[in-house]
Structure 1
Amino acid sequence: MGAHHSVRGVRLMRAVFVAAALLALTAAPAAGAASQPSSPEESAAAVARPGIVLVTVEWRGWVRDKRTGEQFGGADGYQIKSTCSGAVIKPDGHVATASHCVHTGPQGGAGALFDAAIEELAAAGRIGDRAVAKAQLIEHAVAEGATPDRPVDRAIQVERMEATGDGPIRDIAPATVVDLVAPTDGDVAVLKVPRDNLPSLEIRADQTPVGTPVLAIGYPGSAGAAVDPSLEPSNKNGQVSARRTQNDRPFYEISAAATHGMSGGPVVDMEGRIVGLVSQGAPGETQSFNFAAASTTLLDVLAGKDVKAELGTHDRAYREGLERYFADDFDGAVEGFDDVLAASPGHLQATEYRRLAVERGGTAGGDSVLLIGFAVLCASIAVGTGAAGTMVALTRRRRLTPASPVAAAAPAPGGHSPTPVPTSVPLSAPTPVPDEGFAGVPARGTPAFILPEGSDNSGPAPAGPAPAGLPVVSDVDTPPFGIPLLPAALGLEPQRDREGDTDKVERGEAGALRDEQTDKLTEPRRQHVEPGTPLAGEPRADQADEGDEADQGHEDEKR
């Protein structure tokens, strides 16, 4: 019967794990396949797009011909607005862009004012070839602000979209120039806006090999053109076509088609890391070829100002949320995006991807977490069931073995206590009595049985009265003071073939011994009590009841 309980425990454990596996399979949303990225470019764009910003610059100034002193721009001067792109490179508001977007020289703001002066002169019919006229202005004229011989006035703003309860809004922040290198000397600038916990991009520190797939991301359009109110950046895919140098600064030639409005925008690899910033196109090249200032130049500019580009905790949580989302773990994705939004509440892409994950069945603390807890609970129940089956088997095996002297008991395999070897000993066999006058007590762990009155005993009757020194088994509940309760053979042959009503005998034995032990514990006259031999399957006086502790452990797990 013990083996039967063990088999049942194993079967139950298997059934529990099968049920847990089936539940895990059925809990997966049917629409999960739709979340897989269609290409590496999509995954890279999902990582990089949160850190893309629009850089707008308003220029105000006049153009003065140094040869003649003539000034162009009228009383109010020229007011020009230009747009570029950029990337947040540190959550505290550091932004990278192209130097020519914010530089006040001829390749920056001054060049924009020269273009305005040429348009005015062309409208008046004073020039023929615009390219020649601009070259002459660059050589003989100067662009200046309200104060003569001072740089043109410049106001920089960084714009990005933020999520709110009422929908996306445009966040516009003033920006200052931290440092830059000239457009002809690297074309990199670093700005700073008064914002915290902004989504940021990682910068690749090594040299990018030729042939590496890349994305150029930014806001396409020409100066003065209206920008999409939603500030949705555009992705242009390509690859690194060649490595170039200009004034000892590294540049990458890329095949991604980027327009002027994308100047300063990041060029990222398939992991969403910045490998360069879109720079000015090389003279004479077609639109299909552009240049990107290498990320190593950007790192040099940052190092010159002791600024270390790094991702924030929310950036790492966002990337982890994306990984879970694209792996169809929508519960984990929701939790990851919740961590992002706790630190950066306006994170637009985290808000959007969280919405998509919820639409696909994801919830915070949902099935993925519940299944883990359920699996742990099932494992605990299975282990407890197996242990209980083993205890029942051992208990029944011990109860079926009659008490007798133990001969040459060796440790069982695995280090368990030795199992007594049953022998047939008649009741008339004398039991040696020690000098102290006490009868020998069997070793702890040896089963002891007393046949209750009325029990069915088909074995041979005792041959005669017990010899001197051997206590007589009677219906007296408590033995004489100082004499421990001794085991008595049942007179039954071991039930090797499992025949007979063993359950009836066991129930009678258990009841008689429990009553007798209860009386012993309540005996008021005893000052020193030797522990009696416990019933098989019950704990000794110096042992805890493992069964109760195991059950209590399961209750604690359930709570």
Structure 2
Amino acid sequence: MHRWSALLSTCAIAVLLESPGVALADDGRPQATPTEKAAALIRPALVELDVHAAGRVRLPNGDLLVSDPAAPFEVTWHCSGFIVNPDGWVATAGHCADPDSARSDIISAATSVYVSRALYSPDAQGPLPTSQWLRENARIEGTAPDQVGPQVTYTVNYGSGTDVTTASASLADFRPLAKGDVALLKMDKHHLPSSELAPDSQVEVGEAIVAVGFPHGTDSVIDSPAEPTSKNGTISRKATKKGIPEYEIDAAVSNGMSGGPVANLDGKVLGLVSFSPTLELQPFNFVAPADPLAVLMAAKGVKATLGPADSVYRRGLDAYYAGRYTDAIGDFDQTLLMSPGYPGAAKFRTDAANLRQQFGDASSFNWPVIWYAAGGFVLLLGLGLIVSRRRRRRTPAGAIDLKDWEPSYIITTLPDGSVEPAALPAASAGEPFFCAECGAVHHHDERFCPNCGSRIALLENRNG
């Protein structure tokens, strides 16, 4: 008995230890990290936002302050964003699209001009006081007559590599930095790569995230960034500032990434890059949650959703990471047919073709699951045999040892010399009946032993 148990246990353990789910041989195929996979999911929806503002500064005395007699002040800045609906809806940070941001930058540009031209004016006491005085007293006008406020234009760039599309956008709605820091833009485009949002109820402190965007702080050391960067980290804290929710993250972000998506490992956007504390040198940044953005979208009758091409592309990613390169190539081809220039699809297709040539396709069988199932089957089979042997060896209560009873048959010798058992006269219903295998008492009408399950021959029903 113990030898059987030990043998079966050893076999089961050997099966499990040999399974590829425990020790998978490295065949050289590249393995992507979870954050790399998340970045690949959100990358197609990423956009670069260029904002241009122009305005004239009207001084309190009615004079115009201009850098050139015929030209208004012009400022530009760059942010990141992402498409939230295939029909041309783009999300970014509120401070990236806020017209007051344009006003502030124009005042900053006008300050040096005012100081240089009003050097002896009592209003010009240096750059900082002058800037503050202009903010409080000057009026910013557009480039057209009687236009209130600066003229702001939004340009969205999306795509990858050299295949980049540029489109103008209009500001649909926004919340400034102090009130949620989200904005919604609209392009006259359709069938675009898109993304999904993760509500606050699905966001957990300590959750792994990836922040994606177009950094412009690296322009001095690399060529113009045609491709975005991704920074991984975690949600450090969920907090509020003056009642407005915000997430603290430990992922490093830089200038130009404001408005870019912060996604979980499923590729769902849980927030937008918002701001960093002044003079903070450590990765310590804040994210505007996606819930206020969802509110803006709902007011416009828009829902964050993936498009048909997104679903096929993501299916291709699953096949690619599983080593099923032929399937991946087919899905990426279909993605490009549905949405020509779909960001990332062409590159992944090329990589899949190269990897297939080098390694071939991985098996479609899930060997870890199969091996674990086999191990479990061996264990169950062993337990069943052990229990069965124990039950057959056990003498149940009320059983009578057969050695105390005479045989229920007699041996008859036939003329040819062979022998044959002959039944004794059948016992009456009132006499006890016993199983020849285990000795358990049973009813005279039963044909199978209720204890061990053995078939009861009529010859065995006699008690002797």
How far off its partner does 1:171 sit? Answer: 0.9
Query: Structure 1: which amino acid aligns with 2:56?
Result: W
- CA 1:141 to 1:260, structure 2 compared with 1: closer, same or farther past 3 Å? farther
- CA 1:337 to 1:95, structure 2 compared with 1: closer, same or farther past 3 Å? same
Query: Structure 2: which amino acid aligns with 1:143?
Result: I
On the 8 A contact 1:93/1:193 being kept in 2, the answer is yes
The 2-side partners of 1:36 and 1:123 are apart by 59
Query: Structure 2: which amino acid aligns with 1:154?
Result: V
Query: Residues 66-123 of structure 1, C-alpha deviation per residue, up to 9 Å, x if partnerless?
Result: 3x43432243111112111100111111110011112111xx1111101111233455
The 2-side partners of 1:235 and 1:305 are apart by 30
On the 8 A contact 1:334/1:362 being kept in 2, the answer is no
Q: Does 1:231 align with 2:226?
A: yes
**How much identity, in percent, do the aligned residues show?**
34
Q: Does 1:302 align with 2:297?
A: yes
The 2-side partners of 1:154 and 1:223 are apart by 26
Q: In the alignment, which residue of structure 2 is the partner of 1:206?
A: 200
- CA 1:292 to 1:370, structure 2 compared with 1: closer, same or farther past 3 Å? closer
How far off its partner does 1:215 sit? Answer: 1.7
The 1-side partners of 2:216 and 2:335 are apart by 31
Give the secondary structure class of the aligned counterpart of 1:79: strand
Larger radius of gyration: 1
Query: Structure 2: which amino acid aligns with 1:255?
Result: D
Unaligned 5+ runs, structure 1: 1-29, 372-559
Q: In the alignment, which residue of structure 2 is the partner of 1:218?
A: 213
Query: Structure 1: which amino acid aligns with 2:355?
Result: R
The 2-side partners of 1:154 and 1:225 are apart by 27
Matches within 5 A, 1:82-481: 82-105=77-100, 108-121=101-114, 126=119, 130-146=127-143, 147-148=145-146, 150-161=148-159, 168-207=162-201, 208-221=203-216, 228-229=223-224, 231-283=226-278, 285-286=280-281, 288-361=283-356
On the 8 A contact 1:331/1:368 being kept in 2, the answer is no
The 2-side partners of 1:195 and 1:356 are apart by 29
How far off its partner does 1:241 sit? Answer: 1.9
Under a length normalisation based on structure 2, what TM-score does the superposition of the two structures give?
0.65
Q: In the alignment, which residue of structure 2 is the partner of 1:552?
A: none
The 2-side partners of 1:311 and 1:150 are apart by 38
On the 8 A contact 1:89/1:310 being kept in 2, the answer is yes
Query: RMSD of aligned C-alpha atoms?
Result: 3.0
Query: Residues 484-512 of structure 1, C-alpha deviation per residue, up to 9 Å, x if partnerless?
Result: xxxxxxxxxxxxxxxxxxxxxxxxxxxxx
Query: Structure 2: which amino acid aligns with 1:141?
Result: A
- CA 1:252 to 1:367, structure 2 compared with 1: closer, same or farther past 3 Å? closer
On the 8 A contact 1:36/1:328 being kept in 2, the answer is no
The 2-side partners of 1:248 and 1:322 are apart by 40
Q: In the alignment, which residue of structure 2 is the partner of 1:387?
A: none
Give the secondary structure class of the aligned counterpart of 1:174: strand
Query: Structure 2: which amino acid aligns with 1:133?
Result: T
Equivalent residue pairs, number: 333
Query: Residues 393-442 of structure 1, C-alpha deviation per residue, up to 9 Å, x if partnerless?
Result: xxxxxxxxxxxxxxxxxxxxxxxxxxxxxxxxxxxxxxxxxxxxxxxxxx
How far off its partner does 1:250 sit? Answer: 1.3
On the 8 A contact 2:324/2:364 being kept in 1, the answer is no
Query: Structure 2: which amino acid aligns with 1:139?
Result: E
The 1-side partners of 2:174 and 2:350 are apart by 39
The 2-side partners of 1:330 and 1:313 are apart by 21
Query: Residues 181-204 of structure 1, C-alpha deviation per residue, up to 9 Å, x if partnerless?
Result: 222211111111122221112111
Query: Structure 2: which amino acid aligns with 1:191?
Result: L
Q: Which has the higher strand share?
A: 2
The 1-side partners of 2:284 and 2:59 are apart by 35
The 2-side partners of 1:42 and 1:281 are apart by 24
The 2-side partners of 1:224 and 1:81 are apart by 15
On the 8 A contact 1:223/1:261 being kept in 2, the answer is no
